[in-house]
Chains A and B, each alone.
Chain A
Amino acid sequence: MTDIADRSDLVAGVENRLREVAKTVRRSMLDAMPDGEPSRWLYAPMREYPSRPGKALRPALCMTAGRVFGASSEDLLGIAVAIELLHNAFLVHDDVADASEIRRGRPTLAAQYGVAAAVNAGDGLAVVAGQVLRRATRRLGRDLADLVWAEFDTMALRTLEGQATEIGWQLDNVEQLGPEDYLHLIMHKTCWYTTIHPLRVGAMVGSGGTADLRPLVRFGFHFGAAFQIRDDLLNLVGDERMYGKEILGDLYEGKRTLPLMHLLSIAHDEDLALVRDYLARTRSQRSPEMVRTVRELMDTYGSIAFTREYAEGILLVAEEYFEQAFTGAAPGPDLDFLRALVPYVWARWR
């Protein structure tokens, strides 16, 4: 039987591990950053996001998946750092595209340095990620290095496809979208680079390219989708200090999250008209009152409850898929960490 004490142990265990990885990866990211000029308008902004505390889920997944399949930490660190740097590059551009104001508890690069400097910093981070990856893959055999690079290419394209799909939905003001469209979106936009890619690359390096990577797609998606939906929910019901982003920021942006898609599919008459009118506006035309009204409609129509339940259905089988994905993996603290991730997502569910 699992009780509250076990649960907080588990949460603390996962978070400690993530913190450790975050520290190592943060140091390596900053070490990889070029010094020199122009510092104020390029290298300093490039260091901003990597030095802010992030969850480090991606590098942690890559390193532990790699180790349970037999790789050494030295073989994995550079790859994990490259993943996190690319993630930071995506975040910088994402914040520009979304006109977000807060990232990891502080102003976004665009808010602090202006859009132009932010775009350059994002490009710079992507270039440095490539440098780090090139150094890291020199340790590997040529075939394996090719496989790893191909994984990175796939991951980057999947992510861009997802971003483009989402932007298209917003610009075309697409309304006929259901929960399945949302899942399709986050498969591309989020899951591939947050969970599937780090796990696959880790397993690839650990096994020398021999591990069956297919079950990792399955586990990675179920875990990653639940993780993302939880994040979307925290944006609606959470607390700004704990969350580190603007509360209701997704709503301000008109981001097509699962609760919003549910609301669009179920609201009727003037409520539906109101939501549609809201979404047709630009961000600056959306007042706090409107945001609050839409948020209240989500309660009225049970969109929050629906989202929780829908995501539970996705997460329920993740445990099962975990066992399949890591059948040949070495037991130990690394495998325990990976196994604890699903209950970890559950533990902060409601």
Chain B
Amino acid sequence: MDRGTGDGSINDLPWASVFDPAANARALSAIQAQGFRAASEIVDRFARIATTGLNGKDSSTTSAAPLTDDQRADLFGATDIEPLIRSWWAMIGQLLLGAAPRTPDGASANSATLDLSNAEANGKLDLAATSPGAAKAEVWLHNRGANDLGQVRLRCSDLLAHDGSVVGSGTVTFNPAAAAIPARSSRGIEVKIEVPQGVAPGTYRGTVLAEGHPNLWLPAVLTVRVPLT
């Protein structure tokens, strides 16, 4: 067997320690920790995809976690890789948060509406997507009055994150682009944002306005999540 290439410069783990995870964790060098962490990050993403993608089962908050916090603390206790584990957990948390189903509570309160006849705006546009990916939401236009308001178009500003990152207004489309709003009618318009590749995860905020109705506007919030693939 070829055992002659060990150069001695590496942390020479005794082979038996393979069976002792605690000893392994203590012996973990910086490079080993790097490999461990990178592998864990990738595999966590895939374990989640494999679950939701193939089995169609819901993933609970702990499904991606190989060990409980206690077990992990036990396994990696008193080692210098704790910060790595923490960042790893933070990342899992972010993924799980991002992938959690959007809460339906308060959906009606939050649904975005523009009351054109009363010049009243309610709610906000809440969109979430990965980069790259698409997010969709709906705005409802109401005309409670007796006048035909003709064609109404919506506009959206650039969406800006706290660190200056921008998702440009060009990525936002409305379907239909213009909606006819006759007297005593309501109409839903779909808002779609195509988040391009390379957009940093974060929260982006902007404003949706209705052409010809200068006093009407709605806040739009786009949450860009870490992509799962």
Question: Which one, B28, B50, B54, B75, contacts A313 given CB within 8 A?
Answer: B28
User: If A214-B63, A313-B33 touch, does A350 touch B5 (CB 8 Å cutoff)?
Assistant: yes
- Is the pair A310, B50 in contact by a Cβ cutoff of 8 Å? no
Q: How far is the CB of A339 from chain B (nearest CB, A)?
A: 10
Docked complex Cα distance between A170 and B34 (Å):
25
Residues of A within 8 A of B43 (CB): 187, 217-218, 221-222
Q: Mark B10-51, 1 if CB is under 8 A from A, else 0.
A: 110101101101001100110111111111111100110011
Interface window among A50-58, A109-117, A318-326: A318-326
A99 in contact (CB, < 8 A)? no
List A172-200 residues whose CB lies under 8 Å from chain B: 179-180, 183-184, 187, 200
Q: Is B66 part of the contact surface with A, judged by Cβ < 8 Å? A: yes
Q: Which of B73-124 contact A (CB under 8 A)?
A: 75
- Contact residues in B for A304 (Cβ distance below 8 Å): 5, 7
Residue in B closest to A350 when the chains form the complex, CB atoms: B6
Alpha-carbon distance A72/B25, docked complex (angstroms): 38
Tell me whether A154 is interfacial, beta carbon within 8 Å.
yes
Interface residues on B, range: 35 or more
Q: Complex formed: what's the CA distance from A93 to B149 in Å?
A: 63
Partner-binding segment picked from A37-45, A126-134, A279-287, A341-349: A341-349
A208: interface (CB < 8 Å): no
Among B1, B3, B6, residue most surrounded by chain A Cβ atoms (within 10 Å) = B1
* Contact present for B31 and A306 (CB under 8 Å): yes
B9 within 8 A of A: yes
Contact B16 A310 (CB under 8 A): no
Report yes or no: B2 in contact with A316, Cβ–Cβ below 8 A: no
Given contacts A238-B2, A305-B10, is CB(A179)–CB(B55) below 8 Å? no
- Smallest CB separation, A26 vs chain B (Å): 25
Name the contact of B32 in the complex, choosing from A7, A8, A316 (C-beta under 8 A): A316
| Residue from B25, B28, B34 within 8 A of A179 (CB atoms) | B34
Give B96 Cβ to nearest chain A Cβ, in Å: 14
Q: Does A1 touch B at the CB level, under 8 Å?
A: yes
With the chains together, A42 CA to B158 CA distance in Å? Answer: 59
The minimal Cβ–Cβ distance linking A117 to chain B, given in whole angstroms, is 36
- Name the one of A222, A310, A319 contacting B21, with C-beta atoms under 8 angstroms: A319
Task: Judge if A240 is at the interface, Cβ distance under 8 Å.
Answer: no
CB within 8 Å for A151 and B54 given contacts A214-B47, A343-B18: yes
Q: A217-B47, A217-B50, A346-B18 are in contact. Are A314 and B66 (CB under 8 A)?
A: no
Determine whether the beta carbon of B47 is less than 8 Å from that of A2. no
Residues of B within 8 A of A310 (CB): 31-32, 34-35
Q: List CB contacts (< 8 Å) of A290-329 with chain B.
A: 302, 304-306, 308-314, 316-317, 319-321, 324
Give the docked Cα–Cα distance between A11 and B53 (Å): 37
Quick one: which of A184, A302, A317 contacts B9, CB cutoff 8 A?
A302
Bound form: Cα–Cα A143–B28 in Å: 44
**By the criterion CB–CB under 8 Å, are A309 and B10 in contact?**
yes
Encode contact with B along A51-69: 1 for CB under 8 Å, 0 otherwise.
Answer: 0000000000000000000
B29 touches A309 (CB 8 A): yes
Task: Say how far A20's CB is from chain B's closest CB, in angstroms.
Answer: 21
Once bound together, how far apart are the Cα atoms of A238 and B64, in whole Å? 37
A-B contact pairs, 25 of them (CB 8 A): A1-B16, A2-B15, A179-B34, A184-B42, A187-B42, A187-B43, A213-B54, A214-B47, A214-B50, A214-B64, A217-B46, A217-B50, A221-B42, A305-B9, A305-B10, A309-B29, A313-B29, A313-B32, A313-B34, A313-B37, A316-B32, A316-B36, A319-B19, A324-B66, A343-B18
- List 19 additional contacts besides A213-B54, A217-B50, A218-B66; criterion CB under 8 Å: A1-B16, A2-B16, A154-B54, A183-B38, A183-B39, A215-B47, A217-B47, A222-B43, A237-B2, A239-B2, A305-B9, A309-B10, A310-B32, A311-B35, A312-B35, A314-B35, A316-B32, A319-B19, A319-B21
Chain B residues in the interface with A (C-beta under 8 A):
1-3, 5-7, 9-11, 13, 15-16, 18-19, 21, 24-25, 28-29, 31-43, 46-47, 50-51, 53-55, 63-64, 66-67, 75
| In the complex, the 8 A-B pairs of residues with the closest C-beta atoms, listed nearest first | A313-B32, A313-B35, A310-B35, A313-B36, A309-B31, A350-B6, A314-B39, A221-B43
